[in-house]
Chains A and B, each alone.
Chain A
Amino acid sequence: MSRIGVFVCWCGENIARTVDVDKVVQASRALPGVRVAEHYKYMCSDPGQALIRDKIVADKLDGVVVASCSPHMHLKTFRRAVANAGLNPYRMEVANVREHCSWVHHDKATATEKAIDLIRMSVAKVHYDHALQPIRVPVTRRALVIGGGVAGIQAALDIADSGYEVVLVERDPSIGGKMAGLSETFPTLDCSQCILTPRMVEAGQRPRIRLHTYSEVESVEGFIGNFEVTIRKKARYVDMVKCTGCGECMKICPLKRTPSEFDFGMGTRPAIYMPFPQAVPARPVVDKNVCAKIIRNGCGLCEKKCAPGAINWQDRDEMIQEKVGAIVVATGYKLYSIGREQKSAKITGYGEYGYGKYKDVIDGLQFERLVSASGPTNGEIKRPSDGKVPQTIVFIACVGSRDNAKGLAYCSKICCMYTAKHTMLYKHKVHSGEAHVFYMDIRAGGKGYDEFVRRAIEQDGAKYYRGRVSKITQEDGKLIVRGADTLAGVPVTVEADMVVLAAAMRPADGIEELAQKLNVGVDEFGFLLESHPKLRPVETNSAGVFICGACHAPKDIPESVAQASAAASKVAVTFAASELTREPEIAKINELTCAACFACVRTCPYHAVERAEIRARNGTLIKYTARVNEGLCMGCGTCVAVCPSKSADIEGFTEEQIYSMVEALA
């Protein structure tokens, strides 16, 4: 026979105004197994918790139901109160009579009836509660950071400074990401490389940071505190130890006409190359798709020129294993490739701008390279078609962003600012030049941001038109840009020498595959999903996996850096304990009845169910069974739904409990 206590909270007037708490207590006392029922004005307050504790002790209660607000609010509070009285905290249930009852009803009589029903269900459930112990898992105090852009670098440095080792994986030959290629940054116009490269060098030299460039995460196994990561180190054909970074190989390489990825095709590079002179590590790689030695055993000049003998044609991709306890994803973004083939037919639009057809229609990142002192033109603004200095440039904002019809629904957030910056940099370099901007709205929320845009318009004389461009054509070497000025209500035609499109930000290539490896959700656009948009912005639904930077949503440098530090602090919090405790409300398999069909193994979204064997003492196999990995299980219940033999259950939410609640209502 159970000895259950029911505690009904008034929540001041929040519950008591619409629910007759006296009547509820009377009714509760009549429920089977209920020993005591009480109400109190604020059950979560100290006296309220004391009331619960005293009753547990005095009446030797073995189950408690608190009828109060949502368990999201005070489940932990009441569990603590129950535990303090010596009762296992998992023998306590919350009946939500506020959000689910008093707040959503007006009629007191029916609300009271409903409150009694809710309590009756919780009482039925608490009958089947049994003591559970939190799960303890050990922690490997090392972190993996995926992506070596400004966010990844910041996260890696912060984690290293907290005293933990970091494995930093970067897909490109150098860390630095998109920021390394930017010219100057808004709203202060400080040189991007000048502020980033010292950080890159720090990340490269910090003893606690282990850098894997030109590498990709191949697979991730395990769970929070205990991840096993396989990293593919792509063949570089250059011995990282022997190489001194002198650069002679790059000078002698005859195949210099490959479009440079770092310059977004605005410049070229040799087949053996460093993306940029300040690369970290300052070691070249050989592009195996271009190199004549690799393709047809020709050339080989770099090998002859290399004094330390660092060229290694036998180099092959290598798999390495790293054990880590937490993962930070900072894989960044790419620009929407305007008008080109897209995965979704819905966003193939913008043929009207002629990107890819007219050489002088370029995107924002390409313009960054043209303005950058380290760029292919050494910072002189020369247009791609004939190298002339453009006298008129049209900048078009929101190309792909905020366009439900043929682009992406979201705002890319940084384009208003960098377009204003582009007009300024252009005017500072070409004083006689005209900068025209077509925009939808100017979104310049941020410290010093709106002032910056006003400066572009008022001091540097950029001409802003609120309206869209309908078509760009080319006549007599001029780009004819036809658009509308919707404020003046007139059509506008600009004869431009160059057009810069502020293309939408999209998550970097391969994000969905990576998200699958990490069991992290993605939104409809492929950006990684945070656990809670307000309260858990850098956590994901995969415990121990954190996100920062533009892989989460479009964001600028300050925001990416702040988020990276936030993710790093979450890693430090994870590592602060010698072992981690997790809530025990996870799946369990009844191994006696399990028929080993492994439907659960296939459906588990967290790969938490494993195949296991049950063997007798002498080692003979008795049967196969499914088994839940306690570190991985998130308690979603998918296995319970698919199990044909009803062998899977969620602790604290067993089918027995759910059915008893339904029956209590009937």
Chain B
Amino acid sequence: MNIGYYPGCALHGSSNDYDQSLRATLGALDVTLSEVDDWICCGATAAHSLNHKLAVALPARNLALARLQGHAEMLAPCPLCSMQLLRAEQALASDDKLRAEIEVIVEAPAGAGPRVLNLIQVFENAGLDRLKSAVKKPLKHLKAACYYGCLLVRPPGVTSFDDAEQPRSMEAVVAATGASAVDWNYKTECCGAGMTMASPETVLELSNRILANAAAHGANCLVVACPMCHVNLDMKQTAIEKRFGVHYHLPIYYLSDLVGMALGLSPGELGTERHFVTAPAGAKEA
């Protein structure tokens, strides 16, 4: 299976470990990623807070490129990217006048597709049963807290693939790897996101709540699908521990890391050794 791939800025830069992880894992599942040629910024937080037309035009350009390059489906692993892409798709489909204007701006026709997928959906499409049977090392020692963050399942109506408040889709993927998913409360709470630059203190506090709740519910790791969440929970974890005088040492895995580990890929292949919080030596293998 070959699908389009829109990495977005994060997976080309600060979160290139995520890029490495999902390429390795999906490759092991015979899913190859064709990066959309000449892709541009999705608009992120900046565009839609400044100019609605810009916020539609940027993703529209990317959608058009993917479509013209023949992709029926496109993975956008960053939840903010996929939300912007989906939102632009909806705006173009529901507003003829806007569509005509955008077509001129992006110099490409707007049309149907490609279908924008997040990482969970790609695993679902690859088949959870197939995934289960491909597992070489069941991750029985892992008790994962699945953390969706604010955007993966929100806003409802844009990302309508799971319950916006009590999502369960990531748990299903985790279960297929042999790990168990803990029931906890902060699945969809905010980690502080981009406030990490403007107000680090806010991020420390919000992310601390998430880590504390996961630990209180017996998790020994967290699973994320968002590069921003990973930054705040992984890179900032030491700062959080220091600021609040606590000790977690909770590895933060991308969902693809977890699947990759179950498929027998090494930390070197997945890039998990480049995480700030690494798994304690003793807990690595069951």
| Residues of chain A having any CB pair with chain B under 8 Å | 339, 345, 348-352, 354, 357, 406, 471, 473-475, 480
Contact of A350 among B160, B165, B185, B213 (CB under 8 A): B165
28 A-B residue pairings within 8 Å (CB atoms): A339-B163, A339-B165, A339-B166, A345-B160, A348-B163, A349-B156, A349-B164, A349-B165, A350-B165, A351-B163, A351-B164, A351-B165, A351-B166, A352-B165, A352-B166, A354-B166, A357-B166, A406-B156, A471-B165, A471-B189, A473-B185, A473-B186, A473-B213, A474-B185, A475-B185, A475-B213, A475-B216, A480-B185
A257 to chain B, nearest CB (A): 24
Give chain B residues whose Cβ lies under 8 Å from the Cβ of A406.
Answer: 156
Give chain B residues whose Cβ lies under 8 Å from the Cβ of A349.
Answer: 156, 164-165
Give chain B residues whose Cβ lies under 8 Å from the Cβ of A475.
Answer: 185, 213, 216
User: A349-B164, A352-B166 provided; 18 other pairs, C-beta below 8 A?
Assistant: A339-B165, A339-B166, A345-B160, A348-B163, A349-B156, A351-B163, A351-B165, A354-B166, A357-B166, A406-B156, A471-B165, A471-B189, A473-B185, A473-B186, A473-B213, A475-B185, A475-B213, A475-B216
Q: CA–CA, A473 to B217, complex, Å?
A: 12
Q: CA–CA, A339 to B156, complex, Å?
A: 13
Give chain A residues whose Cβ lies under 8 Å from the Cβ of B186.
Answer: 473
Give chain B residues whose Cβ lies under 8 Å from the Cβ of A471.
Answer: 165, 189
Q: CA–CA, A310 to B189, complex, Å?
A: 59
Sort A-B residue pairs by CB-CB distance and give the 9 closest, nearest first: A351-B165, A473-B185, A351-B166, A352-B165, A351-B163, A474-B185, A357-B166, A351-B164, A475-B185
A403 to chain B, nearest CB (A): 12
Tell me the nearest residue of chain B to A357, going by C-beta: B166
Tell me the nearest residue of chain B to A358, going by C-beta: B185
Q: CA–CA, A350 to B165, complex, Å?
A: 7
Tell me the nearest residue of chain A to B184, going by C-beta: A473
A96 to chain B, nearest CB (A): 40
A501 to chain B, nearest CB (A): 14
A236 to chain B, nearest CB (A): 39
Give chain B residues whose Cβ lies under 8 Å from the Cβ of A357.
Answer: 166
B188 to chain A, nearest CB (A): 8
Instruction: Give per-residue flags for B15-49: 1 if the beta carbon is below 8 A from chain A beta carbons, else 0.
Output: 00000000000000000000000000000000000
A313 to chain B, nearest CB (A): 43
Instruction: Give per-residue flags for B208-228: 1 if the beta carbon is below 8 A from chain A beta carbons, else 0.
Output: 000001001000000000000
B117 to chain A, nearest CB (A): 20
Q: CA–CA, A354 to B163, complex, Å?
A: 12
Q: CA–CA, A345 to B162, complex, Å?
A: 11
B151 to chain A, nearest CB (A): 16
Instruction: Give per-residue flags for B151-169: 1 if the beta carbon is below 8 A from chain A beta carbons, else 0.
Output: 0000010001001111000
Q: CA–CA, A315 to B163, complex, Å?
A: 44
Q: CA–CA, A87 to B216, complex, Å?
A: 90
Q: CA–CA, A475 to B209, complex, Å?
A: 12
Give chain B residues whose Cβ lies under 8 Å from the Cβ of A354.
Answer: 166
Among A339, A351, A357, A473, the one with the most B-chain Cβ atoms within 10 Å of its Cβ is: A351
B111 to chain A, nearest CB (A): 25
Tell me the nearest residue of chain A to B213, going by C-beta: A475
Q: CA–CA, A474 to B160, complex, Å?
A: 26
Q: CA–CA, A573 to B30, complex, Å?
A: 76
Tell me the nearest residue of chain B to A346, going by C-beta: B157
Q: CA–CA, A36 to B186, complex, Å?
A: 85
Tell me the nearest residue of chain B to A472, going by C-beta: B185
Q: CA–CA, A351 to B187, complex, Å?
A: 12
Among B163, B189, B213, the one with the most A-chain Cβ atoms within 10 Å of its Cβ is: B163
B168 to chain A, nearest CB (A): 10
Q: CA–CA, A350 to B156, complex, Å?
A: 11
A405 to chain B, nearest CB (A): 8
Give chain B residues whose Cβ lies under 8 Å from the Cβ of A350.
Answer: 165
Instruction: Give per-residue flags for B124-166: 1 if the beta carbon is below 8 A from chain A beta carbons, else 0.
Output: 0000000000000000000000000000000010001001111
Q: CA–CA, A475 to B217, complex, Å?
A: 9
B105 to chain A, nearest CB (A): 30
Tell me the nearest residue of chain A to B185, going by C-beta: A473
Among B164, B165, B166, the one with the most A-chain Cβ atoms within 10 Å of its Cβ is: B165
Among B160, B163, B185, B186, the one with the most A-chain Cβ atoms within 10 Å of its Cβ is: B185
Q: CA–CA, A352 to B154, complex, Å?
A: 13
B211 to chain A, nearest CB (A): 14
Tell me the nearest residue of chain A to B212, going by C-beta: A475
Q: CA–CA, A348 to B164, complex, Å?
A: 10
A94 to chain B, nearest CB (A): 45
Q: CA–CA, A345 to B157, complex, Å?
A: 10
Tell me the nearest residue of chain B to A470, going by C-beta: B165
B5 to chain A, nearest CB (A): 29
Tell me the nearest residue of chain B to A351, going by C-beta: B165
Instruction: Give per-residue flags for B70-92: 1 if the beta carbon is below 8 A from chain A beta carbons, else 0.
Output: 00000000000000000000000
Tell me the nearest residue of chain A to B216, going by C-beta: A475
A150 to chain B, nearest CB (A): 36
Tell me the nearest residue of chain A to B160, going by C-beta: A345
A499 to chain B, nearest CB (A): 14
Instruction: Give per-residue flags for B244-270: 1 if the beta carbon is below 8 A from chain A beta carbons, else 0.
Output: 000000000000000000000000000
Give chain A residues whose Cβ lies under 8 Å from the Cβ of B185.
Answer: 473-475, 480
Q: Which of B197-213 contact A (CB under 8 A)?
A: 213
B163 to chain A, nearest CB (A): 5
Q: CA–CA, A406 to B156, complex, Å?
A: 9
B31 to chain A, nearest CB (A): 29
Tell me the nearest residue of chain A to B153, going by C-beta: A351
Give chain A residues whose Cβ lies under 8 Å from the Cβ of B213.
Answer: 473, 475
Q: CA–CA, A339 to B163, complex, Å?
A: 9
Give chain A residues whose Cβ lies under 8 Å from the Cβ of B216.
Answer: 475
Give chain A residues whose Cβ lies under 8 Å from the Cβ of B189.
Answer: 471
Q: CA–CA, A368 to B2, complex, Å?
A: 57
A7 to chain B, nearest CB (A): 53
Q: CA–CA, A335 to B213, complex, Å?
A: 33
B282 to chain A, nearest CB (A): 29
Q: CA–CA, A325 to B110, complex, Å?
A: 61
Tell me the nearest residue of chain B to A355, going by C-beta: B166
A494 to chain B, nearest CB (A): 15
Give chain A residues whose Cβ lies under 8 Å from the Cβ of B160.
Answer: 345
Q: CA–CA, A416 to B160, complex, Å?
A: 32
Tell me the nearest residue of chain A to B165, going by C-beta: A351
Give chain B residues whose Cβ lies under 8 Å from the Cβ of A348.
Answer: 163
Q: CA–CA, A627 to B111, complex, Å?
A: 52
B135 to chain A, nearest CB (A): 29
Q: CA–CA, A471 to B164, complex, Å?
A: 12
A262 to chain B, nearest CB (A): 28
Q: CA–CA, A406 to B160, complex, Å?
A: 13
Give chain B residues whose Cβ lies under 8 Å from the Cβ of A352.
Answer: 165-166
Among B166, B189, B213, B216, the one with the most A-chain Cβ atoms within 10 Å of its Cβ is: B166
Tell me the nearest residue of chain B to A354, going by C-beta: B166
Q: Which of B172-202 contact A (CB under 8 A)?
A: 185-186, 189
Give chain B residues whose Cβ lies under 8 Å from the Cβ of A339.
Answer: 163, 165-166
Q: CA–CA, A473 to B166, complex, Å?
A: 11
Give chain B residues whose Cβ lies under 8 Å from the Cβ of A474.
Answer: 185
B19 to chain A, nearest CB (A): 32
Q: CA–CA, A473 to B186, complex, Å?
A: 8
A206 to chain B, nearest CB (A): 49
Q: CA–CA, A352 to B163, complex, Å?
A: 10
Q: CA–CA, A453 to B147, complex, Å?
A: 42
Q: CA–CA, A345 to B189, complex, Å?
A: 23
A344 to chain B, nearest CB (A): 13
Q: CA–CA, A587 to B121, complex, Å?
A: 57
A93 to chain B, nearest CB (A): 46
B275 to chain A, nearest CB (A): 27
Q: CA–CA, A474 to B187, complex, Å?
A: 12
Q: CA–CA, A406 to B163, complex, Å?
A: 12
Q: CA–CA, A473 to B213, complex, Å?
A: 10
Q: CA–CA, A307 to B228, complex, Å?
A: 73
Q: CA–CA, A339 to B168, complex, Å?
A: 14
Q: CA–CA, A354 to B187, complex, Å?
A: 13
Tell me the nearest residue of chain A to B157, going by C-beta: A405
Q: CA–CA, A348 to B186, complex, Å?
A: 20
